[in-house]
Structure formats: C-alpha cells, structure tokens
Amino acid sequence: MDPNSACDPDSGIFGLDVAPEDAVLQLIPVPWDATTSYRDGAHRGPPAILRASHQLDMQDRALGVPYIDGICMQGGAEELLALNHECRAAAERVIAAAGRPGGLRPELVESLAAVNRGSQRVNTWVYERACAALDAGAAVGVVGGDHASPFGLIRALAERNPGMGILHVDAHADLRREYEGFEHSHASIMDNALRRIDGVARLVQVGIRDFCEEERQRIVGAEGRIVTFYDLDLAERRFAGETWAALTAEIVASLPARVYVSFDIDGLSPDLCPGTGTPVPGGLSFHEATHLIAAVARSGRTIVGFDLCEVSPSRVDPEDEWDANVGARILFKLCGWTLRSQGRI
Ligand SMILES: [Mn+2]
C-alpha cells in the first residue's frame, strides 16, 4: 500500500491489506439492526464505513501512523445478514403492536421469541470471534450495526478485565429494560451490560439528551455505578465559561484504569450523522469527541476495546457517503488511541 496515493477499492479497512492473523487490531463487523425502534439501516454501516475509509489520508496529527502494524476488518459477516433480515421482519410486527392494550397476540409472542433467539445468536457470534482474536493477541473493536451489536465483545473484554469501566458516548441512555419486549434491544445495551456482565464496574455516559423516567431513576438509584454527563449540563457549563478540556478531565477522572469505549454515532451532533436511526439535536462536535477519546489514553488509562455503532447511510441518497465518512474518521481515532493506550504504537 502506498500511503500517498489513492487506494484500491477492493482493499481492506483504511486501504490496508492485512490478514487477521497478522493484524494488531481486528474489527468485527456486525450488520445487525433487528430491534431498531425508529428507522433501520445501521446493518449497512460496516460496508459503508469500509468504503468510506478508503479516502482517509493516513497521517494523524496526534498519532502519526497508527495503522502501521496492521488493522483489519474481518470477513464473514454476510451470514448475519439473512438472520438480520428475518428478525427485522419479525421485530417490525412486534413493534407495530407495541403499546396496544391487551398485550401481544399469540402469533406475535412467537415473533418476539424469534427476535430474542436471533439476538442470542448474534451475541454468541460476536463473543466467539472476539475471544479468538483476543486470545491471538490482537486488540478488538466492533463495527455495528445498531447498539445491541457489541454485547458479546463487552462480555469477552470484561472477563479479561474485571473492574473495567465503559465510556458511553450517546444521545440516549440505553438503560431501558427489555425495550418493546426485546431482551437485547439497542435501547437496552447498557442495562444489559450492567445487569448481565459482572466485570463491568462502572458506566460513564456522555452526551445523553433523550431518556425516559425509568432510565433517570435507574441512574439516580445506581449509587455511583452509573455516572451521567447529560448533554444539556455540559452545554450550559461551557456557556458559563468552563472549557471542554476541564470537562473532559472530569469525565475521565470518573473512569477506572481500564476503559471500554462504546461510541454511538448519534452522540455527535446530528449534522455529522443525519442518516442514523434516532437522531437528536445537540451533541458533541467531532473535535470534542475525539479530544475525549484521546484524553482517556493521555490520562494513562488503557482502552481495552471499543465499538462504533448506529452509523447508517442516507435513505434518501444511497450515493451520499457523509455518515460513513464521519464514521470512518471516528473509527480511525478509536483504533489509534486504543493502540496507543495499549502501548502497541
Ligand atoms: Mn445507543
């Protein structure tokens, strides 16, 4: 690969051609968005990000050349697409009936069970791939998919790093219990991580601006296991003159020594992710977000792994690569700061 020229459209992530066994960082693509509640499309995220990543210039002002020892996106995710298609159709029937009085009709009970079985399969699929890559000595990230995608990776990393914290960038709190009946809804990922994975000691949330009463009470009742930096509070403190560097230092100080980064693209301002499933006004700028990721590594903490979720190409114009372009650039920063924090670059 020549880092100064355009790259082969058939090349791998960031224009690299690295076999998984030679890569220092493996990305697991998870084209899964069956439980999306508003509008789907995140299952198209991984191939769109792969394509958009080819046009990145590969020098990073802060990191130099973070790809140098090899980053690859695994193949084989096609096997999830058929399952996603099937489960999405079943989930749409359940979602259409959600909120109606009288509970689910018997045929929808089976549809719901089918979606929950599909979620289990995806979780196992991701977990097994993550364990294999970690045991081979690679760093690992998940590229979703909706925010249910990384559960298996969080489990694999928490087993190896008990006491780890999750830095969660998102517009949504994702603390609903079984949203719309789905055990592994995108809106429940952090509830599931805290409730089902013992090794997760703490959740630190940033950018949260869309949450329900159940979630607010969950945060208040968590006795410090959940620390939420609401988007409005962060914005008002900036208006009052506090710097993002100071706010970032406060966020990072609330994290333990080992940190998993879960990055929902809708944590950014929606002009950076107009195609995402549930966009919300407000949110972080690109530089605020990447400064935060960098600050975790610069503090001496270790980023043990990460996910990037909910990147969805435009429904209006399939040629529009803006969402994937932003996603690829966030992914590049996540890869680089993870490798730097682990002392691999
Ligand atoms: Mn989310």
Do strands 226-230 and 258-264 pair parallel, antiparallel, or not at all (unpaired)?
A: unpaired
Residue from 173, 183, 123 nearest 153 by CA: 123
Q: How far is CA 120 from CA 124, 143, 227, in A?
A: 6, 18, 28
Q: What is the pLDDT of residue 38?
A: 79
Tell me, yes or no, whether 172 lies in a domain.
yes
Strand partners, 27: 73, 141
Tell me, yes or no, whether 113 lies in a domain.
yes
Tell me, yes or no, whether 209 lies in a domain.
yes
Tell me, yes or no, whether 7 lies in a domain.
no
Note the pLDDT tens digit of each residue in 76-92: 999 999 999 999 999 99
> Rounded to an integer, what distance in angstroms lies between the CA atom of residue 341 and that of residue 345?
8
Note the pLDDT tens digit of each residue in 131-175: 999 999 999 999 999 999 999 999 999 999 999 999 999 999 999
Mean pLDDT score, 202-219: 97
Sheet bearing 71-73, strands edge to edge: 71-73, 25-30, 139-144, 302-309, 258-264, 164-169, 200-208, 226-230
Tell me, yes or no, whether 3 lies in a domain.
no
Domain of 199, in residue numbers: 13-341
pLDDT at 5 over 80: no
Q: What is the pLDDT of residue 123?
A: 98
Number of domains in the chain: 1
CA atoms within 13 A on the CB side of 342: 20
Phi, psi of 239 (to 5 degrees): -60, -30
Q: How far is the CA of 67 from the centre of ligand 1 (A)?
A: 27
Note the pLDDT tens digit of each residue in 258-311: 999 999 999 999 999 999 999 999 999 999 999 999 999 999 999 999 999 999
Banded pLDDT at 66 (limits 50, 70, 90): confident
Strand, helix or coil at 76?
A: coil
Strand, helix or coil at 29?
A: strand
User: Identity (one letter) of the amino acid at 192?
Assistant: N
Phi, psi of 84 (to 5 degrees): -65, -45
Radius of gyration, CA atoms only, the chain: 19
Tell me, yes or no, whether 91 lies in a domain.
yes
- Say which CATH number the domain at 159 has: 3.40.800.10
Least confident of 25-34, 38-47, 165-174, 211-220: 38-47
Q: What is the pLDDT of residue 69?
A: 78
* Cβ(33)–Cβ(41) below 8 Å: yes
Q: How far is the CA of 187 from the centre of ligand 1 (A)?
A: 6
pLDDT at 1 over 70: no
Least confident of 3-17, 163-177, 286-300, 327-341: 3-17
pLDDT at 28 over 70: yes
Exposure class string for 42-81: b at 16+ Cβ within 10 A, else e: bbbbbbbbbbbbbebebebeebeebbeebbbbbeebeebe
Q: How far is the CA of 8 from the centre of ligand 1 (A)?
A: 33
Structure tokens that stand for 167 in this block: 């830095």
Phi, psi of 29 (to 5 degrees): -80, 135
Banded pLDDT at 329 (limits 50, 70, 90): very high
Tell me, yes or no, whether 259 lies in a domain.
yes
Q: How far is the CA of 283 from the centre of ligand 1 (A)?
A: 13
Q: How far is the CA of 133 from the centre of ligand 1 (A)?
A: 25
pLDDT at 4 over 80: no
Q: What is the pLDDT of residue 85?
A: 95
Structure tokens that stand for 64 in this block: 């130099």
What is the CA 14 to chain-centroid distance, rounded? 18
Determine the number of helices (DSSP H) and then strands (DSSP E) in the chain. 10, 8
Q: How far is the CA of 319 from the centre of ligand 1 (A)?
A: 25
Mean pLDDT score, 48-55: 95
Q: How far is the CA of 264 from the centre of ligand 1 (A)?
A: 5
pLDDT at 58 over 90: no
Strand, helix or coil at 247?
A: helix
| Residues, CB-to-ion distance under 5 Å, ligand 1 | 147, 170, 172, 174, 264
Element (H, E) at 226: strand 226-230
* pLDDT more than 70, % of the chain: 100
Tell me, yes or no, whether 21 lies in a domain.
yes
> Rounded to an integer, what distance in angstroms lies between the CA atom of residue 193 and that of residue 115?
19
